[in-house]
Chain A
Amino acid sequence: MTLETTACLSAYMVLAYLGGAFAALLPLRSGLTRALTAGGAIAGAGAGIALAARVLIAGEPFALTVPALLTVGGGVALRLDGLGAFFLLLIGVVAAPAALYGVGYSAAYAGRYSLRWLGAMLNLFLLTMSLVVLADNVLTFLLTWEAMSLASYFLVMTEHERDDTVAAGGWYLAMTHVGLALILVAFVLLSPAGGGGGFADLRAAAATLSPALRGVVFVLAVLGFGSKAGLVPLHVWLPRAHPAAPSHVSALMSGAMVKLGVYGILRVALDLLGVGPAWWGALLIGLGAASALVGVLYALTEDDLKRLLAYSSVENVGLVFIGVGAGLLFASLGEPAAATLALAAALYHALNHGVFKALLFLGAGAVAHATGSRDMNRLGGLIGRLPWTAACFLVGALAIGGLPPFNGFVSEWLLFQSLLPAIGSGAPLVAPVMTLAVGALALTAGLAAAAFVKAFGITFLALPRSDEARAAHEAPVTMRVAMVVLAALCALLGLGAAFVLPVLGGLLAGHAGLPRVAPALTAGPLLLPPGGGASMSPSLLAIGLLLALAGAWLAVRVGAARGLRVGDTWGCGRIGQTARMEYTSTAYAEPLRRVFAELYRPTEDLTIDVHPESRYFVQSRTYRSEIVPWFERYVYAPLVRWVAAGAAHTRAIQSGSAHAYLAYLVVALLALLAISLAWSASL
């Protein structure tokens, strides 16, 4: 393999995205603008996938430095190692179907919102996301990171005439900038005294830092990147921003961008800082378990389909972080094989979540496109009207529920297996931490299955609950193709686990605390976690399931009566059935809402309006129930109050006079000069 090929591919990727962005801005017909937007994005994603695949297969990183492009801070430095290539692959795999889907989905925006702006921002968003994983110095990283955040902010604001969109954008912008500030501080602390912002310099400098300072850098990175990833308690923007964005953008944000928070933490903890103390891993496991449980519990009671998916992203990011935390913990305990397995499981789950969550968001988008509603209590019965969407959404729901033989099952199984050796570990606090992690993981898996039975069952099955749902129509062909591609990937990533896992092990090899040569994680079609005797084969399992299915079908076909009559649903003798007799989304979650009442603290308000003559004749009844949004009410509301109060005080210096502002500038400059003089004198 030559440097030229990879360099060409990376240039091609950048040019394709830029071309897509530029072409989208041209004053063309709406259909052409949509097609060109998707064309640029798909070409860029394809080049990104090819580049990532080359790096992953060859095992050699690709590097490119353009010092002349930005002279301060070492110029633009790009480098793609295995870790970056994996995330580039993830971005490409999600981006191509999402862009294709956008062609059909954004047709409804023509004449209402700016398609040119949407197309340009979509391509810039994909470009900056791809460049984040390529960045090899602090300046490049921070610039692309911020550009990515801003591009995604503009995409969230696409439907800017809606009030909730504006509010969601505000939350997102605030959270992402708090994150950026923390990341900035982490990098400043990590930068060597002699200057040099390249990641290689940081890596060398990290070895000389005191343990306390390394710990501070780690915590800052966890908080900073965690705000992007949606770790509890920094997750509050996700359930707002993801539903507000156009559905293919939600798919990209939830499927790909959120994972870059995981990438950032891995880059800092695994690559730059090196092996840390055990509490790093324990901290991530704790945050991950909390995110998983909080995410799935809120997803369960959610009636808005896209908000449910957004909360479920919080849950899945939590699962990924349990794996990452276990990996860091094992690395610090000196168990490299177990660390490799845990990190590979985390990466696998990140990839899988990218695929099935993108699929589910696209499915939810198709539902919203067809009915104009995301409220599951107004949907239902769509399986007959949107057969393609329903089948694809079912695959996504089974995959995210961790059911065999789809991809979510494989990565959850690997996560379980990666926690197993820890229980036998000799280190004192490890066993309880891991035992609780196993319990949290299992509860999360069970509740996620319940949440997605609800999401699919209430949305697509039974009778339609509104006129919109009754009049629904199937999505256009571009949207259907995108969903089918992702559904096929859900199956392939599950069945082909024996091919995927060694690649993940290989890209992790050589990182701090991990073995130089990856341990064997597979044997033929079997997945074989190192150490334990456990094994599993998703492909053979799928074959067995299909055989059993075919056997049962044939036996019934041959041996049983074949008559089939269509009748009414049994209703204890009453005639006629209406959608009001069905279970709703709220009703479906009611038993679990009661079980976890301590968390939800539901407030219920039932008003019954009776006839003046007799209280036995009910004229109307209204029922309203809400659950306590703990984080918003008890964490963010006070915070917002303090910030607002502080801002009111600083208003005093904002006089509006240009002379005063110039004076501030001069004073600030002089103060900085004085400080830096004093600093250099003291050294």
Chain B
Amino acid sequence: MTGWAIEIAQAALVLALAPGLVGVVRWLKARLQSRRGAPPWQPYYELRKLFGKDVIVSSNASWLFRLAPYVVFASTAAAACLVPSLAVTRPLDAVGDLLVLVYLLLLGTVFLSLAGLDPGSAFGGMGSSREMTVAALAEPTVALAIFALALSAGSTNLGQIVGRTLADPAAALSPGHLLAFAALFVVMLAETGRLPVDNPATHLELTMIHEAMVLEYSGRYLALIEWAAALKLLVFFALLGNLFVPWGVAAVAAPAPLALALGSLLVKLAVIAVVVAVLETRVAKLRLFRVPELLSVSFVLALLAVTSSFLGR
């Protein structure tokens, strides 16, 4: 019973935290760029405002356009439930592994891409085409990074990967883990539409990907999509934090370890947010056709991760 209570608490926590995380990254970026910036809780206001507004739907759009925000939100939320944010052993751990998580996120990507095509605007088609290009090219890196992790843990289940690293702390510093971390970090930038792959700060750049796809959305639909995007960012941050640096994740379901887990999760998210904010301040956006080069670098990193995990056995 406590297991399910933890699941529900964890799901509620990540849903609640996600917009704040986006706000923190934005606020940090503003500070680094010598701007005052909006407060970190600004995204909550934005969501409230969007949920309170009517939606405008293109006359060309079909039922798919109105279904897609719900599918995107539900699939991202389901993926977020699979992440061991607080506890190692959980009832949902057996329902899906890391591959399932990746495919759930892909489901959201596919629906968003279809919705981008639906109103028939050139922007939507452009964003959709580019999004699927990036998603397809990121896929092999993700799979190989997962396998590098699975190789040392003997399983692709998230709880088991975390548990194995907790039992054998030296594994966290093995070259396989470090390389897989680097590979997944690059994929995270690509999948969540951060610089240098996509620019989350603008609607008006011709190289944009995510923002072009969602250009036709408004009101509650846009709110769901924005929330799902924030959730996706949190999923990737939490994965990078808890899979590679698992200390703090509660091994037993007791109040004290769970409180510690919550604290350590917040610290890890904050650290990765700082890294991303610094990176986004330092680098410029890549031309779209340079993005595959970045992704092939991450692919090579993942390949090296598998190789060194194999040699290190």
**Interface of A with B (CB < 8 Å)?**
380-381, 383-384, 394, 398, 401-404, 409, 413, 416-417, 420, 423-424, 431, 435, 438-443, 445-447, 449-450, 453-454, 456-458, 461-463, 526, 532-537, 540-541, 544-545, 548-549, 551-553, 556, 559-561, 563-571, 577, 579, 581-583, 587-592, 594-595
B contact residues around A416 at 8 Å (CB): 99, 143
Q: Given A548-B77, A569-B60, are A592 and B133 also a contact pair (CB < 8 Å)?
A: yes
| Binary contact track B54-66/A, C-beta < 8 Å → 1, others 0 | 1111111011100
Number of contacts between A and B (CB, 8 Å)? Answer: 262
CB < 8 Å neighbour of B95 from A420, A537, A564 = A537
Closest residue of chain B to A581, judged by CB? B122
Instruction: From the candidates A402, A446, A587, name the one contacting B138 in the complex (CB within 8 A).
Output: A446
Given contacts A416-B143, A462-B119, are A439 and B113 in contact (CB under 8 A)?
no
Contact of B52 among A409, A450, A453, A561 (CB under 8 A): A561
Contact of A435 with B144 in the complex, beta carbons under 8 Å: yes
Of the A-B pairs whose beta carbons lie under 8 Å apart in the complex, a sample of 8, sorted by A's number, is: A398-B107, A416-B99, A424-B154, A424-B313, A536-B95, A549-B70, A561-B219, A564-B54
A587 to B123, CA, bound (A): 12
Q: Which A-chain residue is minimally distant from B72 (CB atoms)?
A: A552
Known contacts A449-B106, A544-B81, A549-B71: A566-B57 contact under CB 8 Å: yes
How many angstroms from the CA of A594 to the CA of B122 in the assembled complex?
19
Q: Which of B22-30, B35-43, B124-132, B276-284 contacts A (4 or more CB under 8 A)?
A: B124-132
For chain B residues 291-313, which have a beta carbon within 8 Å of chain A?
292, 299, 303, 306-307, 310, 313
Chain B residues, CB < 8 A from A526: 94-95
Name the A residues within 8 Å of B288 (CB-CB).
Answer: 591
CA distance A466 to B234 in the complex (A): 44
Q: Chain B: which residue is nearest A441 at the CB level?
A: B143
Residue among A401, A404, A535 making CB contact with B104, cutoff 8 Å: A404
- Assuming A442-B144, A536-B96, A583-B122, what are 17 further A-B pairs, CB within 8 angstroms? A420-B147, A424-B154, A440-B140, A443-B137, A443-B139, A445-B139, A457-B128, A462-B117, A544-B78, A564-B57, A566-B56, A582-B122, A583-B126, A583-B128, A588-B129, A595-B137, A595-B289
User: Which chain B positions have C-beta within 8 A of A457?
Assistant: 113-114, 117-118, 128
CA distance A420 to B143 in the complex (A): 11
A532, B77: Cβ atoms closer than 8 Å: no
Could you tell me the distance between the alpha carbons of A446 and B110 in the complex, rounded to whole angstroms? Answer: 10
A402, A534, A556, A559 pick with most chain B CB within 10 angstroms: A534
Q: State A194–B224 Cα separation when bound (angstroms).
A: 74
Q: Please determine whether A431 and B117 come into contact, CB atoms closer than 8 angstroms.
A: no
Q: Is B156 an interface residue (CB 8 A)?
A: yes
Ranked nearest first, the 10 interchain pairs of A and B with the lowest CB-CB distance are A583-B125, A446-B139, A563-B54, A442-B143, A446-B136, A533-B155, A462-B120, A548-B74, A450-B132, A457-B117
Check B150 for interface membership: any CB of A closer than 8 A: yes
Size category, B interface: 35 or more
Given contacts A431-B310, A443-B139, A552-B77, contact A404 B103 (CB under 8 A): yes
Given contacts A457-B114, A561-B220, A582-B125, contact A450 B136 (CB under 8 A): yes
- Residues of B near A577 (CB, < 8 A) are 60, 120-121
Kindly identify which residue among A552, A571, A581, A582 contacts B73, using a CB–CB cutoff of 8 Å: A552
Distance, CA A568 to CA B215, complexed state (A): 13
Contact A556:B220 (CB < 8 A) given known A533-B154, A534-B155: yes
Does B89 touch A at the CB level, under 8 Å? no
With both chains docked as a complex, state the minimum distance between the C-beta of B118 and any C-beta of chain A, in angstroms.
5
* Known contacts A450-B136, A567-B58, A591-B288, A581 near B121 by CB under 8 Å: yes
Out of B106, B144, B289, name the residue touching A438 (CB < 8 Å): B144
Residues of B within 8 A of A (CB): 51-60, 62-64, 70-71, 73-75, 77-78, 81, 92, 94-97, 99-100, 103-104, 106-107, 109-110, 113-114, 117-126, 128-130, 132-133, 135-140, 142-144, 147, 150-151, 154-157, 160, 215-216, 219-220, 223-224, 288-289, 292, 299, 303, 306-307, 310, 313
Tell me the nearest residue of chain B to A432, going by C-beta: B307
Instruction: Determine whether the beta carbon of B104 is less than 8 Å from that of A438.
Output: no
Chain B min CB distance to A582 (Å)? 5
Residues on the B chain within 8 Å of A569, using CB: 58-60, 119-121, 216
* Chain B residues, Cβ within 8 Å of A424: 151, 154, 310, 313
- The answer to whether B57 touches A565, judged by C-beta atoms less than 8 angstroms apart, is yes
B156 close to A534 (CB less than 8 A):
yes
* CB <8 Å contact, B133 and A450: yes
Residue of B nearest to A543 (CB): B95
Q: How far is the CA of A566 from the CA of B218 in the complex (A)?
A: 12
Which B residue sits closest to A440, measured CB to CB?
Answer: B140
Within the complex, what minimum Cβ distance (angstroms) separates A438 from chain B?
Answer: 6
Query: Is the CB–CB distance between A548 and B73 below 8 Å?
Result: yes
Q: Is the pair B125, A404 in contact by a Cβ cutoff of 8 Å?
A: no
CA of A423 to CA of B154 in the docked complex: distance in angstroms? 10
The answer to whether A567 and B303 have CB atoms under 8 Å apart is no
Residue of A nearest to B66 (CB): A564
User: Which residues of chain B come closer than 8 Å to A549, judged between CB atoms?
Assistant: 70-71, 74
Contact B135 A449 (CB under 8 A): yes
- Closest-CB distance, A341 to chain B (whole angstroms): 14
Contact (Cβ within 8 A) B78 A541: yes
Partner of A450, one of B103, B124, B135, B150: B135
A391–chain B nearest beta-carbon distance, Å: 9
Question: B137 touches which one: A403, A446, A587 (CB < 8 A)?
Answer: A446
| Nearest chain A CB to B313 CB, angstrom units | 7
Query: What is the minimal beta-carbon distance from A472 to any residue of chain B, in angstroms?
Result: 14
Within the assembled complex, what's the spacing in Å between the Cα atoms of A403 and B114?
14
A416 to B98, CA, bound (A): 12
Which residue of chain B has its CB nearest to the CB of A535? B94
Which chain A positions have C-beta within 8 A of B55? 563-565
- Within the complex, the shortest CB–CB distance from A379 to chain B, in Å, comes to 12
Distance between Cα atoms of A456 and B94 in the complex (Å) = 33
Q: Which residues of A contact B51 (CB under 8 A)?
A: 556, 559-561
Q: State in angstroms the CA–CA spacing of A445 and B129 once bound together.
A: 16
**What chain B residues lie within 8 Å of A533 (beta carbons)?**
154-155, 157, 160
**B303 and A435 within 8 A (CB):** yes
A594–B292 Cα distance when bound, in Å, is 10
Decide if B129 touches A590 in the complex (CB within 8 Å). yes
Contact assessment for A423 and B147 in the assembled complex, using a CB-CB cutoff below 8 Å: yes
CB <8 Å contact, B64 and A461: yes
Shortest Cβ distance from B117 into A: residue: A457
Q: Which residue of A lies closest to B75 (CB)?
A: A545
Could you say which of A394, A446, A536 has the most chain B C-beta atoms within 10 Å of its C-beta?
A446
Which residues of B sit under 8 angstroms from A440, Cβ to Cβ? 140
- Nearest Cβ in chain A — how far from B80, in angstroms? 10
- Assembled-state Cα–Cα distance A587/B128 (Å): 11
A580 — nearest CB in chain B belongs to which residue?
B122
Decide if B100 touches A423 in the complex (CB within 8 Å).
no
Rounded to whole Å, the gap between the CB of A670 and the closest CB of chain B is: 62
CB neighbours of B292 from chain A (8 A):
595
Is the beta-carbon distance between B157 and A534 smaller than 8 angstroms?
yes
A461 & B114 in contact (Cβ 8 Å cutoff): yes
Contact: A582 with B120, CB < 8 Å? yes
